[in-house]
Structures are given as C-alpha cells and as structure tokens.
Chains A and B, each alone.
Chain A
Amino acid sequence: MTLPRKRWLAVGAAATLFLAGCAGGTTGGTTGGTDGGEGKPAAISQADIDKAMKTPTELTFWTWLPDIDKEVALFEKKYPAISVKVVNAGNSQAEYTKLRTALKAGSGAPDVVQLEYQHIPGFAITDSLLDLRPYGAEALKERFVDWAWGQVSGRNGEVWAIPQDTGPMGMLYRKDIFDKHGIQPPKTWDEFAAAARKLHAADPGVYLTNFPTNHNSIWTGLMWQAGVKPFQMKGADQVSVDVAGETSKKLASYWSGLVKEGVVSTDADFSDQWFQALNKGRYATWLTAAWGPLFLSTSAKETRGKWRVAPLPQWTAGEQKSGNWGGSTSAVVKMTKNPIAAAKFAEFLNTDPESARMLTTLQFLYPPTKALLSDPGFVEQKSDFYGGQQVNKVFADISGTVPTDFTWLPFMDQINNDWNETVGKSLADKTDTAAGLDKWQQTITTYAEKQGFKVAR
C-alpha cells in the first residue's frame, strides 16, 4: 500500500506521451510507396545498400541478451561506418511496454529490437515493423528451419523479423531417480502417466513432473505438439480462436487427471520454491525447451551428472512430434531513419556464421539456422551435466519434428494472462479443466470482439 502517487506518475507519463504525440512523429525511411507487384514493396538496389553501409550511421538496438556487444563488435568491424548502441530495455514484457510507449510518442524507439515470436503479430498489426523483403530477407528463408521462418512471416508473405533462437521442446529427466524405481524414460504420454503414478506411489516426496500454472508456455507447446491450431489470422480483421476443441479437451483431461490424482505437482516455476525443488529432487523430469539444458546446469548445480535428455512423450507410439517454447527474433522498427543499415544489422547478427555461433556459446541460445543444427562442432558437444550426452544433437533432431503451421494472434499478452485465470486456475484448484478451457475460449473471444475482430472458431 505504498503507492499513493503511483497513479499520478502513470497519468503524468501518459500526458508526456500525448504532448510528444502532438509534436507529430514523422516516420523516416525510404520504404513504402512503390509497389513491387502483389502488394509487395520494391527491392532496394545493391548500390543503395552499399551506399548506406558506408554512410556514417548510429543504430540503436534494444535487447535483453547479456554480452551481446561481442557480436555487435563483429558487425562494426565489418561495417566501420556504422556504430550500434546496445540498450537493455528490460526483459520481454518490460521491453514491449517501453517500445509501445515510444511508438505512440513517435520518437525514442530503437532501430532494431529483440522480439519473441509470439509478439510479432501484435506489433505488425499496429504497422510498427518494417517488412524486410526489400532488403533481401526472402533469400534467407532457406537458412532457417521452416517452423521458425513461419513464425516471422506475415499473412501476405511479409518478413517481419530475422529468427534468432528457438526452443523446440524435449524432456529432461533424472536418470538416478528413474533407475532407482526401475522406470524407463516414457516414450508415450500413456507410459508417462503410468510412470507418474508408479513414482509417486513409491516415493510421495517426488513427482514425475511439475506442471506450472503460472504461465501457459508449456500448455501452448503441448497444444502445438498435439497438432492444435488455436490462433489463426483468417483475414485483415478476422481471427480464428480454437483453444477448447476436441484435442485440447484431451490435453485437459490428461493433465487435470494427473494433477487431481496428486501424482504431478503444480508449483509456480522459476520461483524460489521451484529452484530449490529442482535441486532437491522433487521433480524427476522437466518438460522444457532447447534452452533448458544450459539453464538447468547453472541453476541446479547440485544435481550435476544426474540428468539426461529425451524427446517429449508422444500421443501415438512411433510418432515424433514436438512443440516450441520461447525463442526470439530481431525486428526492425518501421520508424527507423536508417532502414537499410538496420535491416542488414538484423540479418548479420543472426546469419553471419561467426556471430550466429557466438550466440550459442556466449548467450547460450539454441540456433534456428540449418547450418548450425547440422554442424558437428555444435551438435556433437558432450555435456558432463548430462552424463556426457550430446544434448544439442537430441534437440537438433527434435527441431525437425516441430509442426510448421502454428501461428499467433496480435494480442498474446491478453491470451496468456487469461490462461492463468481460467485453465491454470482450474489445474491449480483441481477443478474442471474442460470448463476452464471453455472459459478461456470465451474470454479470448470477448476480448477479440471488443478489439474489433470478427471471431470464428
């Protein structure tokens, strides 16, 4: 209750925005106007690009990656005329809030910005991102795994960003706990359920896994794996929302069943509790993404050597499918005054071989480029934390099994938040998760309609 003044500050900030907005934000840039056929902007000539890359320019780059200036230095070495100012504007949501503020104000936005895949449509629909096709981005398509490229592509073929990292999902498991109880790494979700019951019966202090109810990342990843297409843009103002269909209900009855039986815990993840629980062996598996293994090795040091990696269990035996959790991109903000330099920086950062490799070794990102995913120097690394297993190899194989047609809607913040209060709440409270799904469907529909969209199921 310490905030009598907070509200004033907020409206004060809003007023500043308004005043700045009145001053009129003219968007710089040389794009737009000319039409390259089928609504596609004309390509920029190589001569223009060469000229821009030799003109002294300062770019601003917002990112939350630590030590990214090492990769930036590579770019500046290649293009000495251009200097890049790296600004850490906060992690994901914090950065997006600042970006929206700057966009509304018409000034103060960066040239290049780190965006997660699922937030691209939200910025694309407000016309805030630069279509990178005129800058030669289409030629990069073949370098990236299909499903990552699909996430940065617009409905009319626009290229809104360059993929930076991905998070194909797999399963990390405690080999020591499995061995102790004679459990084989489950290959199907049925085996997984049986193992969950067996393990918890044998040792009530241990759960086969924890299903966090504080965010829907895992849920969304599992929908993705199961082949659900919950969020689709059907037209400029038409969306389809399908989060409570038959397959989603199957997911709901599966997970709420395990939770109600008490054989799977529902602790909030990335909390103090959760870190301690990982270290103390409360969870025998962690359903996570390709960035998970390195994260775990630094946050659960006490369990070194006890973990192994496997693909996610499957709904149908013999199949291989996965989903994605997380990962981000580099996008160019449309109001940039230096679109060519900005677009080339986004491209260089994520496709230059040395820079792309550095992203995996310095920032521990999991790559979306086919080159790295088939590079023995990357996939054949052995990790002591995982008993010498080739962790990257396992995830490189998984990366090829992620369905390519999963897309997002322009208001994922709201959708994600609503999940906590409907599906997540029903799991945590052990109530009817199918009803929670219906409620989620309904809240998303209500919000979308209020925003002026026509909603189909």
Chain B
Amino acid sequence: MSVMTVPPSRRASARRDRVGYLFVAPFLIVFVAMLVAPLAYAGYLSLFREQLIGGVRFAGLDNYIQALSDERLLDGVLRVSRFFLVQVPIMLGLALLFALALDSGAMWLSRVIRLGIFVPYAVPGVIAALMWSYLYGPQFGPITQLAEALGLPAPDLLSSDLMLGSVANIVTWEFTGYNMIILYAALRAIPTELYEAAAVDGAGAWRIAWSVKIPALRPALLMALIFSVIGSFQLFNEPALLQRLAPNVIDSAYTPNLYTYSLAFVSQDVNYAAAVSFLLGLVIVVVSYTVQLAVARRRR
C-alpha cells in the first residue's frame, strides 16, 4: 500500500519525542521560572540605573564599568582570594587526614569521632557564628579569660589584623566534617582488590595511602575543591554576624557578597548590585575553571 508514506517507525519516534518533552516539562518549567528567568531579569536590571531624583534610565554597561574600577569591590575580591588560598588547603588537608584515619580502621571509637567531626556542619551557620562570637569576645570571652588567668596578653581576635583568621577558623570548623564525609565515601568505593594487589607488592599502610588511596580520591578532592572555591568567594554568613561585634573592622564591603547585599538593601541600588553579582559570578567561573584545568593538566 503506497498510501502510507510515513514509515511507522519514524512517526512512533516523533510521538515518543513529544512524550519525552512532556516528561521533562516539570523540570524545564521550574528551571526556566526559577533560574533562567531571574538570571535574565537580573541581567536586564544591571543595564539600568535608578535614582531617587530622575527615575530609571538605560545605562548600558556603565554599571559594569563602574564595578571594574570599584576599589571596594576589588578589595573584597582580593580578601576572599587570600582567604581561599590559606583556608581551603588547611580545611581540605584536615578533611583528608581524618578521612584516611577513619578509613584505615586504626582509630578507636571511629563512629563517635566521625559523627563528632561532622556535627559542626549540622549546626546552622548563624548559631555557629553566634557561638564563636561569644568565644572570641574581647572582654568576657573564655579565650580572653584563659589568657588573663595565665597572665598572658589576650589576643584581640576581632581586630582588623586577626579578623580574617578568625573567620577562617569558624569556616574550617564548620566544613571540615562535610568534606571529610565526601572523601570518606570515595575511599569506601575503592575496590579492595587494589589494596590486596598493593599488599602483595609489599606496600605498607603509608605507601597504600600515598600511592593507591590519594590518587583514587582525586575526583572527590576536585569536587570538594570546586565547592570550596564557590563557598570562599560567596563568604557571607560569618562576616555578617561578626560585623555586629566588630562593626568598624568588617565594613559593608568586607566580602563581595556582603557588598552586594549592602548595595541592594542599604544603598537601594539594585541595578549596581545586579552588575556586581554578575561580575562576582564571572570571577567564580574563571577561578573554578582554572582550578579544574590545573588539576586535569597535572593528571596527564
């Protein structure tokens, strides 16, 4: 019968395609409504300028040009970069150490310890920062009181010299456990045959850790690293809460995210805040990509 021109198989596959879209639709709708549209709107906003006197006008890329030469923004980016370079290696190093120790099975009470290291991650960031701001307190905080009891000069942990370190300490305390769990899970996924083979070759525990476990952890470490890049550049909670204790040390542009927040809600400058957010997003993409590239190249 030559009437049937469309091969049935193709028609069926076309129908199947349409059904496929139907299945993806719920996701697509949410994705577009919650991610693409707001992002596009923020991009749109960033091209305008609104004034109390004069209203809204199209500004083209003025906001971006202004942001690129905004010293307060650049200072903030440099500050979180420094934070990233110092804090992240310490945190991931500790996480790796704990994960290897737990995995080796040589640790007593390993369940209790594992939970203990992980618990800070479960404490809400706000509570954590409040707790630490009490511990850091320069007059009645326990650290100060201990130093005084020992007759030592009490360190001012909230001074401008030590503040970044104090923030790094809180973040390390909070996120070491989280990264440890990622690494530990990756370690459990390593096939035991590798260990057996290594043992047959005469490798000891240290050698196995160095030559088998750590190389196998590379993808997990890379993921933890990328998360840390994003986390560092988006630093907000901890400095925002410590700001109440040391308002003159942590100013409104201490981190880029704090600056964006203050631009939007204190200065009422949503347009400029949107432009700054976009630039910050760009910085994060570039740094993440660089990190990924650097790690991938070393593997080769």
With A8-B35, A14-B270, A276-B139 known as contacts, the answer to whether A1 contacts B252 (CB < 8 A) is no
Size class of the B contact interface (CB-based, 8 Å): 35 or more
- B234, A417: Cβ atoms closer than 8 Å: no
| Cross-interface CB contact of B232 among A1, A268, A273, A411, cutoff 8 Å | A1
Residue of A with least CB distance to B83? A1
With A417-B266, A421-B248, A424-B248 known as contacts, the answer to whether A273 contacts B138 (CB < 8 A) is yes
- Could you give, for residues 277-312 of chain A, a 1 whenever the CB lies within 8 Å of some chain B CB and a 0 otherwise? 100001000000000000000000000000000000
| Cross-interface CB contact of A451 among B52, B137, B234, B236, cutoff 8 Å | B52
- B42, A272: Cβ atoms closer than 8 Å: no
- Could you give, for residues 374-396 of chain A, a 1 whenever the CB lies within 8 Å of some chain B CB and a 0 otherwise? 00000000000000000000000
* CB proximity of A219 to chain B, nearest CB, Å: 13
- B252, A421: Cβ atoms closer than 8 Å: yes
CA distance A18 to B53 in the complex (A): 21
With A214-B248, A414-B266 known as contacts, the answer to whether A12 contacts B51 (CB < 8 A) is no
- B34, A8: Cβ atoms closer than 8 Å: yes
- A411, B52: Cβ atoms closer than 8 Å: yes
With A7-B277, A14-B38, A413-B268 known as contacts, the answer to whether A268 contacts B52 (CB < 8 A) is no
Chain A residues within an 8 Å CB radius of B249: 428
Q: Say whether A140 faces chain B, with CB atoms less than 8 Å apart.
A: no
Of residues A11, A93, A214, A427, which shows the largest number of chain B Cβ atoms within 10 Å of its Cβ? A11
| Cross-interface CB contact of A429 among B54, B138, B174, B248, cutoff 8 Å | B248
Chain A residues within an 8 Å CB radius of B260: 7
* CB proximity of A169 to chain B, nearest CB, Å: 21
Chain A residues within an 8 Å CB radius of B125: 2
Count of A-B contacts with CB under 8 A? 128
- B234, A4: Cβ atoms closer than 8 Å: yes
Chain A residues within an 8 Å CB radius of B236: 1-3, 6
- B234, A3: Cβ atoms closer than 8 Å: yes
- B248, A1: Cβ atoms closer than 8 Å: no
Interface residues of A in 417-457 (CB under 8 A from B): 417, 420-421, 424-425, 427-429, 447, 450-453
Chain B residues within an 8 Å CB radius of A427: 248
Chain A residues within an 8 Å CB radius of B160: 429
Q: Say whether A69 faces chain B, with CB atoms less than 8 Å apart.
A: no
- Could you give, for residues 160-200 of chain A, a 1 whenever the CB lies within 8 Å of some chain B CB and a 0 otherwise? 00000000000000000000000000000000000000000
Q: Say whether B262 faces chain A, with CB atoms less than 8 Å apart.
A: yes
Residue of A with least CB distance to B160? A429
Chain B residues within an 8 Å CB radius of A425: 248, 251
- A11, B262: Cβ atoms closer than 8 Å: no
- A420, B248: Cβ atoms closer than 8 Å: yes
Residue of B with least CB distance to A7? B277
* CB proximity of B32 to chain A, nearest CB, Å: 11
Q: Say whether A45 faces chain B, with CB atoms less than 8 Å apart.
A: no
Residue of A with least CB distance to B261? A10
- A1, B175: Cβ atoms closer than 8 Å: yes
- B267, A447: Cβ atoms closer than 8 Å: yes
Chain A residues within an 8 Å CB radius of B274: 11, 14
Interface residues of A in 106-143 (CB under 8 A from B): 125-126
Residue of A with least CB distance to B238? A1
CA distance A2 to B121 in the complex (A): 10
Chain B residues within an 8 Å CB radius of A428: 248-249
Contact stretch, chosen from B107-115, B184-192, B201-209, B239-247: B239-247
| Cross-interface CB contact of A271 among B39, B41, B42, B244, cutoff 8 Å | B244
CA distance A425 to B231 in the complex (A): 28
Chain B residues within an 8 Å CB radius of A273: 137-140, 245
Q: Say whether A88 faces chain B, with CB atoms less than 8 Å apart.
A: no
Of residues A1, A3, A273, A421, which shows the largest number of chain B Cβ atoms within 10 Å of its Cβ? A1
Chain A residues within an 8 Å CB radius of B37: 15
Interface residues of B in 13-44 (CB under 8 A from A): 34-35, 37-39, 41-42
CA distance A453 to B54 in the complex (A): 9
* CB proximity of B147 to chain A, nearest CB, Å: 16
* CB proximity of A18 to chain B, nearest CB, Å: 5
- A2, B231: Cβ atoms closer than 8 Å: yes
Chain A residues within an 8 Å CB radius of B90: none
- Could you give, for residues 71-108 of chain A, a 1 whenever the CB lies within 8 Å of some chain B CB and a 0 otherwise? 00000000000000000000001000100100000000
- A8, B38: Cβ atoms closer than 8 Å: yes
* CB proximity of B183 to chain A, nearest CB, Å: 18
Chain B residues within an 8 Å CB radius of A277: 139-140
Q: Say whether B64 faces chain A, with CB atoms less than 8 Å apart.
A: no
- A451, B266: Cβ atoms closer than 8 Å: no
Q: Say whether B225 faces chain A, with CB atoms less than 8 Å apart.
A: no
- A97, B51: Cβ atoms closer than 8 Å: no
- Could you give, for residues 253-293 of chain B, a 1 whenever the CB lies within 8 Å of some chain A CB and a 0 otherwise? 00001001010111110100010010001000000000000
- A1, B231: Cβ atoms closer than 8 Å: yes
Residue of B with least CB distance to A13? B38
* CB proximity of A420 to chain B, nearest CB, Å: 5
Q: Say whether A267 faces chain B, with CB atoms less than 8 Å apart.
A: yes
CA distance A442 to B212 in the complex (A): 61
With A1-B238, A15-B41, A452-B52 known as contacts, the answer to whether A100 contacts B268 (CB < 8 A) is yes
CA distance A291 to B175 in the complex (A): 43
* CB proximity of A117 to chain B, nearest CB, Å: 19
| Cross-interface CB contact of A3 among B42, B53, B257, B265, cutoff 8 Å | B257
Residue of A with least CB distance to B43? A11
CA distance A97 to B53 in the complex (A): 20
CA distance A237 to B55 in the complex (A): 12
Q: Say whether B45 faces chain A, with CB atoms less than 8 Å apart.
A: yes
Q: Say whether A410 faces chain B, with CB atoms less than 8 Å apart.
A: yes
Chain B residues within an 8 Å CB radius of A4: 227, 230-231, 234
CA distance A49 to B236 in the complex (A): 50
CA distance A410 to B139 in the complex (A): 38
Q: Say whether A213 faces chain B, with CB atoms less than 8 Å apart.
A: yes
CA distance A10 to B37 in the complex (A): 12
Chain B residues within an 8 Å CB radius of A420: 247-248, 251-252
CA distance A6 to B273 in the complex (A): 14
6 contacts between A and B (CB under 8 A): A1-B236, A1-B237, A11-B277, A93-B265, A273-B245, A452-B54
Q: Which residues of B contact A (CB under 8 A)?
A: 34-35, 37-39, 41-42, 45, 51-54, 125, 133-134, 137-140, 160, 171, 174-175, 227-228, 230-232, 234-238, 244-249, 251-252, 257, 260, 262, 264-268, 270, 274, 277, 281
Q: Which residues of A contact B (CB under 8 A)?
A: 1-4, 6-8, 10-12, 14-15, 18, 93, 97, 100, 125-126, 213-215, 236-237, 267-268, 271-273, 276-277, 282, 410-411, 413-414, 417, 420-421, 424-425, 427-429, 447, 450-453
Given A1-B171, A429-B248, 4 additional A-B pairs, CB 8 A: A1-B175, A14-B38, A215-B247, A410-B52
